[in-house]
Amino acid sequence: TSVTVPRMLVDLLSRRKAIVFEGCIAQLFFLHFVGSSEMFLLAVMAYDRYTAICKPLHYTAIMSRWACWLLVCSCWAGGFLHSITQTWLTIQLPFCGPNTIDSYFCDVQPVIRLACADIYLTQWLMASNSGLISLGCFLLLLTSYTLLLLSLRGRLTQGHCKALSTCASHLLVVTLFFLPCIFIYLRPPCTFPFDKYVCVIYTILSPLMNPLIYTLRNNEVKESMQRLWKCC
């Protein structure tokens, strides 16, 4: 959101929808850097929740301060490695033709289609890179929640119900984020007219919904909403 929205607002306010090539490449780099880092962090959060709920007595030993630092640094390092690979493959292409993309931000797929070269292999490399990261992290999340539900089957207490409520909110957020990413990046090299609308979901809508989804779990917020509804 911090990479795409500010530039989009500037373009809308100035009514000048243009960006220099260097700025476009910078936006592409930071988009994939923070986006892939967020995917890895969400996967780590799922592991953290599984450890806290299923192995509470061993939590402090498993998720020690050193382990937390190692996991966070690994997420950012993985995001940087993924992003620099995507950016390097893009800047190696020759650009000499049209310079208009059908999107509100610079992403790999719309940018490399402007190249004056055969990009079939490049498209497959980039799709396998971004797509497999999205799919792999999402499957890891689903696996962690499946194991969590199986471990809590038949022994639900008040604490476990609260934990499941937290996990349900988290799963809803990550589903809104991952499914559009998988649709955009994990597919053969092709475009659809509604791709730019799907991109809105994971770049703007999903982060916008995060506070709403998480705060509606709060009992105080629920009681306030009920009082407000009764007053109306």
pLDDT digits (tens, 9 = 90+) for 198-213: 888 888 888 887 777 7
pLDDT band at 163 (very low <50, low <70, confident <90, very high): low
**Is residue 173 in a domain?**
yes
* Lowest-confidence pick of 156-170, 202-216, 218-232: 156-170
φ and ψ at residue 83, rounded to 5 degrees: -70, -40
The answer to whether residue 221 is domain-embedded is no
Residue 157 belongs to domain spanning: 7-189
- Asked if the structure places residue 227 within a domain, the reply is no
Please report the pLDDT score of residue 68 as a whole number.
93
175 assigned to some structural domain: yes
pLDDT band, very low/low/confident/very high, at 230 (cuts 50, 70, 90): confident
Amino acid letter, 48:
D
Kindly state whether residue 121 falls inside one of the protein's structural domains: yes
User: Measured between alpha carbons, how far apart are the two ends of the chain, in Å?
Assistant: 34
Q: Residue 29 pLDDT more than 90?
A: yes
When divided into structural domains, the chain yields a total of 1
- As a whole number of angstroms, the distance between CA 36 and CA 18 comes to 26
d(CA 22, CA 26): 6
Distances (CA, A) of 133 to 19, 67, 102, 213, 224: 28, 22, 25, 25, 40
Residue 229 lies in a domain: no
125 pLDDT more than 70: yes
Kindly state the average pLDDT of the residues 165-178. Answer: 78
Is the pLDDT assigned to residue 159 strictly greater than 60? no
Burial of 203 per CB tally in 10 Å (0-12, 13-18, 19+): buried
Asked if residue 207 is part of any domain, the answer here is no
Query: Which amino acid would we find at residue 4?
Result: T
Residue 203 within a domain: no
Split at pLDDT 50, 70, 90, the class of 154 is low
* CATH number for the domain that contains residue 103: 1.20.1070.10
CA separation for the pair 27, 106 (Å, rounded): 6
Residue 17, CA atoms < 13 Å, CB-side half-sphere: 10
What are the tens digits of pLDDT across the range 8-26?
888 888 888 888 889 999 9
CA distance 38 to 41: 5
Mean pLDDT of 60-88: 93
pLDDT at res. 158 = 58
pLDDT band of residue 174 (cuts 50, 70, 90) is confident
